Amino acid sequence: MTRVAVVGAAGRMGRMLVEAVAADEHCQLGAAIIKPGDSLQGVDAGDLVGVGTLNVSLTGDLALAINDFDVLIDFTTPELTMQNVELCRQHGKGVVIGTTGLSNDQKAELAKVAEDTAIVFAPNMSIGVNLVFKLLEMAAKVLGDDADIEVIEAHHRHKVDSPSGTALKMGEVVADTLGRDLQKCAVYGREGYTGPRDRETIGFATVRAGDVIGDHTVLFACEGERVEVTHKASSRVIYARGSLRAVRFISDKRTGLFDMQDVLGLK
């Protein structure tokens, strides 16, 4: 049985994770971390999400709970995630990271930390989305050089990063397959007189509205036909379900940086 800690346990995603861990036969909740000074501190995590007492009190200090878990699940902010990762490295704890918006330097730091502990890092933990990544690779191989490629994504009004980490990963998959550098060929929005489209570019369009959980489409537009690869999320439970697959995947690993393609055996 793998003991799991959830950071941000009082948030929307955190509550979903706590509930999912409580229901999983291979995992048990070891710690539930909330913001320091939060009024929920001391409340039982099971009572918070309505699954009954789990005998795990919400706490604002991950360091105090370091001996209570084997793997940490982190869907927070880049800065907090990196702090938590370093603490886990020092104590040999595995980490599953669903945080988006990490910089290239922070991603490089994760690779260094993974020399000392096991990490699964993915911009989207959904099993379906990670299947889509594989489909995009196939589509790019067949259509890429003959298609104009656009990535369109929509999320709820509270999401703070744009484009989404998932949209960027989709662009990376396509660009890598076609031998392009996404940092050089990406176009983030268009306005005014932009001139004809450059076939080598990969465009991104972003929508932020209402309570949209997450919609992503990659459009391959050729002369005479279009192919669209789409994923739509209707519940955050898909991210929790994928996170627990990731937890089980690294539970017996000591070091290494992995993603959901590794977890699902798609590489």
Q: Is 89 left (phi over 0), alpha (psi -120 to 50) or beta?
A: alpha
Q: Is 155 known to be catalytic?
A: yes
Hunting for tokens 């080598």 — which residue is that? 200
Q: Which residues of 71-104 are buried (b: 16+ CB within 10 A; e: fewer)?
A: bbbbbbbbebbbebbeebbeeebbbbbbbbbbee
H helix or E strand, kind and range, residue 94: strand 94-97
Give CA–CA dist 246/248, Å, rounded: 5
Q: Is 35 known to be catalytic?
A: no
Residue 66, token pair as written in the block: 């370091």
Residue 212, token pair as written in the block: 């949209």
CA dihedral 89, 165, 265, 24 (to 10 degrees): 70
- Is residue 196 reached through a cis peptide bond, with omega within 30 degrees of 0 on the bond before it? no
Q: What single DSSP character describes residue 160?
A: -
Q: What single DSSP character describes residue 265?
A: T
Instruction: Please pick, among 91, 156, 158, 159, the residue that the annotation labels catalytic.
Output: 159
Residue 213, token pair as written in the block: 């959980």
Instruction: Please pick, among 155, 169, 216, 231, the residue that the annotation labels catalytic.
Output: 155
Instruction: Report which of 141, 128, 168, 72 is spatially closest to residue 264, judged by C-alpha positions.
Output: 128
Residue positions annotated with a catalytic role: 155, 159
